Amino acid sequence: MLQPEAEWIAKAQKGDDEAFSRLVEVFQRPVHNLCYRMLGNANDAEDAAQETFIRAYKAIKRYDPSRKFSTWLLTIASNYCIDQHRRRKLPTFSYDSMPVPDISDNNPGIDRLMVLGENKEKVMELLDILNPKDRSAVILRYWYDYSYDEIANSLSLSNSAVKSRLHRARKELASEWLEMQEESTTFERTQNEQTI
């Protein structure tokens, strides 16, 4: 952990609000990103990220400095998002705030970028088919490079359960991805035939 962060955590544990605000400043992006990947829209993500920091603030005295702070924080965030999923049926994804790749006419890798941009949207849509815990495991593993142990600790699962959930999730995502590609190919072919 970086030196100033360790200092801020120690101060926050003694009740220094300003020190905790600095932690909010530093960790807002990863927490918000996780919430966005979990919940799928900017408003819910903002709300969940705020709530995560409120919960962390209340529990900061119980934080064990031997653990990585970001892991502890993201665990709070993912558990909150899983709860939100369980409480209400969340709507499907909105792409209003999805980052669009910078594509100009003289960009050499334009095709690849366009495909990548489309694929990003597809991945977000794909995540929606997973149940909240699998989804959280996939996000922590592939967006945040968490180890199996870290995911197991975060989601209160055994190491083998994490592995099997990830294996199942990968298969589900890949089959859905293939189906989506097949659908879009069929659609394009029909369009081309109609034009001819």
Partner 1 sequence: MNKQFNERLLESTWQEIEFTIKNSKEIGPKPGFTNRWKMRLEDQRKIEQRRQAWIFVGINAITALIILGIIGVLNFPESSSTSEAFVGVVAIFSKLIIYLKMLGGVIGSIIKTIPGLLPSSWWMNIIAGFVLLFGFWTSTIRKVIVQQGVSQ
Q: Which residues are at the interface with partner 1 (CB under 8 A)?
A: 21, 24-25, 28-30, 32-33, 36-37, 42, 45-46, 49-50, 53-54, 57-59, 61-62, 97, 99, 116, 119-120, 122-123, 126, 142-143, 170-171, 173-175, 177-178
Helix H segments across 42-99?
A: 42-59, 69-87
Q: Closest Cα to residue 62, out of 13, 108, 104?
A: 13
Contacts of 99 (CB under 8 A, 6+ apart): 120
| Residue number with CB closer to partner 1 (1 or 59) | 59
SS (H, E, C) 93-157: CCCCCCCCCCCCCCCCCHHHHHHHHHHHHHHHHHHCCCCHHHHHHHHHHHCCCCCHHHHHHHHCC
CB of residue 57 to partner 1, shortest distance in Å: 7
| Residue number with CB closer to partner 1 (144 or 150) | 144
| Residue number with CB closer to partner 1 (11 or 170) | 170
Please, are residues 78 and 155 in contact by the beta-carbon 8 Å criterion? yes
| Residue number with CB closer to partner 1 (42 or 82) | 42
| Residue number with CB closer to partner 1 (61 or 86) | 61
To the nearest 10 degrees (0 to 180), the angle between helices 132-142 and 110-127 is: 140
Over its C-alpha atoms, the chain yields an Rg (Å, rounded) of: 20
